[in-house]
Amino acid sequence: MNVLVIGANGQIGNRLVDQLKEAGHNPVAMVRKEEQIDQFKEHGVDTVLADLEKDFSHAYQDIDAVVFTAGSGGDTPKSQTKVIDRDGAIKAIDEAEESGAERFIMVSALKANRDPETWSEPMEHYYDAKAKADEHLRDSNLNYTVLMPGQLTNEEGTGNVELKERIDSFDTKSITRDDVASVIVGLLDAEKSFGKSLELLQGDTTIEQEIAELE
């Protein structure tokens, strides 16, 4: 499967392209700067130069699936969060529909689908941008999955997660970026995840089992 990874130069994206390649897919790393291309080519990963703030429709040529893992981060100015996490994501969804790429996985954020009253003030604009992009995806005709991981860490992945449409207790929980990437690879062909919004945290069950148990 030809998989366009939007945000490939990010911490999840870097891990994801490697794991997709290992799984037998053909990842296409979408990068914004020419100097970012070589690091992917050294690993045999195809790249496309494109910018979310401009026309990036050319990135979708021969693409079967899209993973949107670009993000401005919670500390980014509000204006740029809207440009990337909301407007850029919405454009990416629209381009997928127009191009015929039927599968779309959105890397969102835990709490983005929760009551806005639970959002802390410094992160409110970030969750709001994510929530609006997620809703646009849910309203699309794509085979989508909205993936909402908790606090991201750079520890080595464990392969054990909790993946549910709603996780009731998550105050202090997190998830490694390695495991987020592994879950995305597992979800790519998992039809039971189509049309679902899934929360993701570290857990005690293997990724394969959690995906198999989706209803």
Q: Which entry of 60, 126, 127, 144 is annotated as an active-site residue?
A: 126
- Side chain identity at 133, as an amino acid letter? A
DSSP class of residue 82?
A: I
DSSP class of residue 212?
A: H
- Side chain identity at 124, as an amino acid letter? E
Helix (H, G, I), strand (E, B) or coil at 164: strand
- Side chain identity at 56, as an amino acid letter? F
Q: Which two tokens stand for residue 161?
A: 């997660």
- Side chain identity at 145, as an amino acid letter? T
Q: 172 — phi, psi (to 5°)?
A: -120, 15
Q: How far apart are CA 207 and CA 152, in angstroms?
A: 17
Contact between residue 67 and residue 3 where contact means Cβ atoms under 8 Å apart: yes
- Is 144 an active-site residue? no
Helix (H, G, I), strand (E, B) or coil at 53: coil
Contact between residue 51 and residue 32 where contact means Cβ atoms under 8 Å apart: yes
Largest CA distance in the chain: 46
Q: How far apart are CA 122 and CA 189, in angstroms?
A: 36
Residue positions annotated with a catalytic role: 126
